[in-house]
Structure 1
Amino acid sequence: MKPTIAHYALTGALNALWGASLPATDARLDLGEARLGTLLLALSLGVLAAMPAAGWAADRWGARRLLRVTAPATALALAAPVAAPGFTSLLAAAFGLGLLMGALNVALTVRAVAVERLRRKPVISLMHGMWTLGAVAGGAATAAALHAGAEARWFVAVGGLALALGFAATGRRLGPDAPPPAPTENVAGKGPGMGALVLLGVIGAAAFLTEGAATDWAGIHARRVLGADPATASLVYTAFFAAMTAMRFAGDAVRTRLGAATTVLAAGVTASAGYALVLLSPLTGLGTAFAGWILAGIGMAVVWPVVTSALGAAGASGRRLSTVGAISYGGGLAGPAVIGFTASASSLSAALVIPAALALVVALAAPPVLRALTTVDGPQGRRTGPGYVT
């Protein structure tokens, strides 16, 4: 399991290195808001385009082999966007990086499911917690280097090379993939049917949009709506991120005790309550907003790990995992725009009603779908699989 955990941590650092380098690229090419948005759209389109093919590749060649190829390649590809001489080449480089990121994401998900099958207990939330820690470390290292005067293009190139070497070293230690369990849902013998996949994808999209609303808008809400100074506003985001990280490390134990369906029910209710406090904060003050964002982070931290674990327990193939992932990440990518357009048409407080409602949708819609994916066997019809209890 340790090499897979290391891959999650390194991937978090990789994403942070990309994100933290964007301001330098913006300044070097004088992109502006519109072209920066187009750049991020190109990256996102690459991610979504790669996911179906990556799911097919994981089924054909195995997640271990796919991870060994995509992880170092993605790290090396970080250097292309920051070295691009113009906007057109920057878009091409970002789309290529997005393709590799999408394939890497699928490989990681399929591999995490395989590890959980081998260990026969929940571990996926822990892996996502390591991703978060890797992102924090990568972002801090990049910020420190740029603050010290390092040239962004060289730092990202060197950092990408170091990550590629780390991926290569841990990739050699990856054990064999676990064989999938017997499928539990459709008679074709291929695991969950398309209806369940679409439902879980929509649930994942709702969760990602709710999470993205916090990461993108928590600080802005504190500053614009509540009148907090910039330093205090940034602490609101930090509180959300810290709560999410802590819950991810506790998430596997919670899921073992409560089961997948009850865990997601509690998660959605908690996040919805958190957003309710955020919506009340203009009347009650900044402290209420802090409490609300902390509850939102605690709630949203475990939804995606539970969804992927349930799919794995139900015998989902790599293609089916990638289908759910593409739908879910598509919702997450659309989230910031939805919130932004709604805020511009009305107000930011009104826009935050959307993630509050979606958190409640997760709480109500996810448990029945997760229960339907649960394996039922044995003379007493006991439900089995990672994180399930009767």
Structure 2
Amino acid sequence: MSRGWASAAAAGGMFVFGVANALLGAVLPLLSLKLRFDLAQAGALFTALNFGVLLTVAAAGRRIDRSGVKPAMTAGPLIVAAALVLAVAADSYAMLLAAAFVLGLGGGALNAATNTLIADLNPDPRRKNAALIVLGMFFGLGALTVPFAAGVWLDRVGLAGIVWSTAGLCAAAGGYAALLAFPGAKNPDPRRRAGTVSLLRTRSVQVTMLLLFFQSGNEVILAGYTTTFLTRDLGVGVRAASWALTGLWATVILARLGLARLALVWSGDRIVMVSAAAALLGALLLAASHSIPWAGAAIVLCGAGLAGVFPTILGMTGTRFREDSGAVFGVLLTGSRVGSMVLPWLAGHLAERAGPRAALALVALGAAAILALQAISRKWHGVRPGG
């Protein structure tokens, strides 16, 4: 099959993963009013979501190397669609918690499969970085779908109508993938595959896992607590807060559009350092904001900072581990999802005790850690093409 058809399927899968990753943050104010749960329980929802992702990415990487991406590309969107329907139908917190977990299962399969597919389709290091950044734009499109729809159509069709429509889009992505013949397994011989334990012992993999631990935690905290901060601390209405969250993800998309071109001339290291610095400044400004204009500017800066780190890090790592990209991506995505579970859980308890500003300050600490870890990685590897 052509690379274009496969890339389109990867874009659709990443769109669905974006929906799965951002849904809870977009509808949290409405769901908390409906089911009456507190901020600590909200943090547990994100933990359940990311525990589901963790389970699938931990297992998917090696299976992808052995069997190819089609099972995950087909089943992932359908699982996400089912979880969306379960979430909007939830009449108890326990049911919503289960929906969040199922949402993570489908999203995790897509996270591993789409990134591995695009990395394998683009062997040139800098083009690999650029292609993964473009793929990340579709994550942003998926992430802003529900908050955008809530801002425009909430009063007309209600939350149920918005979520059901989104579930239909997700199911369509799975149906499209089912029609395609994807590239086969690239490393089916178990004797030639790097073991997970050996990858975990690799110094560069350890540092990269820790870096993505903080990056994923930051993404989930910002997606989950921005609307809560705006509604509770700044008195913004739910619809306006939904538009602000839409602005966050719109900035991610536009920044990735620019970074995809810069990735052809900038080193991956430079993209990561500049992005992390922007996220650090944006998080500090957002946590200190007491007015809507300043908060809006901070959200834009945070979005720009989120844009470049994750896809560029995957591209650089995929270049170093060409023959075991599925396995190493599975290891890295597992580490990142641990961060997505631990840091939002901590942010939820901080928000419950000290308010949402404390949760947002945690993002600044994470961005500072990313800068330090990338500086360590640069010292070990140097700056080379694509890296």
TM-score range, shorter chain: 0.7 to 0.9
Matched residue count: 369
- One-letter amino acid of the structure 1 residue matched with residue 371 of structure 2: A
Q: Which has the higher contact order (CA 8 A, sep 6+)?
A: 2
- Could you tell me how far 1:97 is from its partner in structure 2? 3.9
Equivalent pair of 1:72/1:163 in contact (CA under 8 Å): yes
CA–CA distance in 1 between the matches of 2:285 and 2:43? 31
Report the equivalent of 2:57.
51
- Could you tell me how far 1:123 is from its partner in structure 2? 0.8
Instruction: Give CA deviations for 1:185-227 in whole Å, capped at 9, x if unaligned.
Output: x9999778543223112111212233334333445555665x5
- Could you tell me how far 1:303 is from its partner in structure 2? 0.4
How big is the alpha-carbon RMSD for the aligned residues of Structure 1 and Structure 2?
3.9
Q: Which runs of 5+ in 1 are unaligned?
A: 181-185, 375-381
- One-letter amino acid of the structure 1 residue matched with residue 118 of structure 2: A
Report the CA distance shift for 1:220/1:27 in structure 2 as closer, same or farther (over 3 A).
closer
Instruction: Give CA deviations for 1:241-279 in whole Å, capped at 9, x if unaligned.
Output: 332221112222222222011111111222223334445
Equivalent pair of 2:144/2:245 in contact (CA under 8 Å): no
Equivalent pair of 2:67/2:185 in contact (CA under 8 Å): no
Matched, 1:204 2:212: yes
Report the CA distance shift for 1:373/1:311 in structure 2 as closer, same or farther (over 3 A).
farther
Matches within 5 A, 1:118-197: 121=127, 122-141=130-149, 147-149=155-157, 152=160, 156=163, 159-173=166-180, 175-176=182-183, 179=186, 193-197=201-205
> Identity over aligned residues, as a percent?
24
Equivalent pair of 1:244/1:297 in contact (CA under 8 Å): yes
Equivalent in 344, 358, 362 of residue 366 of structure 2 = 358
Q: TM-score, normalised by structure 1?
A: 0.76
Q: Give the greater-gyration-radius structure (CA).
A: 1
Instruction: Give CA deviations for 1:9-37 in whole Å, capped at 9, x if unaligned.
Output: 34434556676677777677x45337665
Instruction: Give CA deviations for 1:152-176 in whole Å, capped at 9, x if unaligned.
Output: 3x87556535532332224434642
Matched, 1:98 2:104: yes
Equivalent pair of 2:136/2:256 in contact (CA under 8 Å): yes
Equivalent in 45, 48, 67 of residue 42 of structure 1 = 48
Equivalent pair of 1:78/1:157 in contact (CA under 8 Å): yes
Partner SS state of residue 117, structure 1: coil
CA–CA distance in 1 between the matches of 2:335 and 2:226? 24
CA–CA distance in 2 between the matches of 1:3 and 1:136? 19
Equivalent pair of 1:76/1:160 in contact (CA under 8 Å): yes
Matches within 5 A, 1:257-336: 257-278=265-286, 281=289, 286-315=292-321, 316-336=324-344
Report the equivalent of 2:3.
none
CA–CA distance in 2 between the matches of 1:189 and 1:337? 28
Partner SS state of residue 183, structure 2: coil
Partner SS state of residue 32, structure 1: coil
CA–CA distance in 2 between the matches of 1:383 and 1:35? 45
Report the equivalent of 1:62.
68
Q: TM-score, normalised by structure 2?
A: 0.77
